[in-house]
Amino acid sequence: MANLLTSSQALRSSILFPRGVHSRLLTLEFFASAGMGNFDFQFSDIVGNNVWILGISVWAHGDVAGSLIGAFVHITTGVGLPTDATVIAVEWENIIANKGLKPYLSLTGFEKGWWRFDMNRLYTGNSRRFGIVVENLSSTNQFRGSCAIQISEG
C-alpha cells in the first residue's frame, strides 16, 4: 500500500496534486463470536477536515480450519463519537455500498478472505471518524479480521 518517493518527487507531487503526498493506515480489528446475528464494531480516532481515502483492505478468517463463514459488513464514515453499532451502520455514510437492495457488503461462503477496494475519494467538512460493523451469518462458526483504511490528509 505504501509508495516510495524521493524528496524531489514528493515536492513535485505536492505542487501538481492538491492533496497530501504521504499516507497512513487506520486499522480496525474485529471479532464476531459464533451465533447468527452476533456482531462487533470498531471506529477510528478523529482525522482531519480534508481526507482522501486511497484504499481499503479487509481480511477475515474463521477460527477453525475448514469452517465456512459469512458476514454483513458495513464500512462507514461519520462525525461525532458513536455510542453503539447502530450509529455506525445506519446513521453514518457508507464508504463501500452494495449496489443491491441492502446498503452493506455481504461476504459469504469463505474460510478466509482478503478484499481490496481502490477508492481515491475525497471527504471534506467536519473532522470525521471511520468505522466498521461486522455481523456474523453463521450459527456455529466465529471469525476475526481487520480492516485497513489508507488515508491521506491535506
> What residue ranges define each of the domains in the chain, with the CATH number in brackets?
7-153 (2.60.120)
Q: Look-up: residue for cell 447468527? A: 36
pLDDT (tens digit per residue) in 77-126? 999 999 999 999 889 999 986 665 566 788 888 888 899 999 889 999 88
Instruction: Note the pLDDT of residue 106.
Output: 80
Q: If you average pLDDT over residues 11-37, what whole number do you get?
A: 77
- Please determine, for residue 1, whether its predicted confidence score (pLDDT) is greater than 60: no
- Across-strand partners of 51? 123, 153
Instruction: Note the pLDDT of residue 25.
Output: 93
Q: 117 and 98 in contact (C-beta within 8 Å)?
A: no
pLDDT (tens digit per residue) in 56-81? 999 999 888 888 888 889 999 999 99
Instruction: Note the pLDDT of residue 108.
Output: 81
* C-alpha separations of 142 from 38, 53, 85 in Å: 9, 29, 18
Q: pLDDT band at residue 148, thresholds of 50, 70 and 90?
A: very high
Q: pLDDT band at residue 4, thresholds of 50, 70 and 90?
A: low
Residue closest to 85 by CA, chosen among 144, 151, 30: 30
SS3 of the chain: helix, strand, coil, percent, to 5: 10, 50, 40
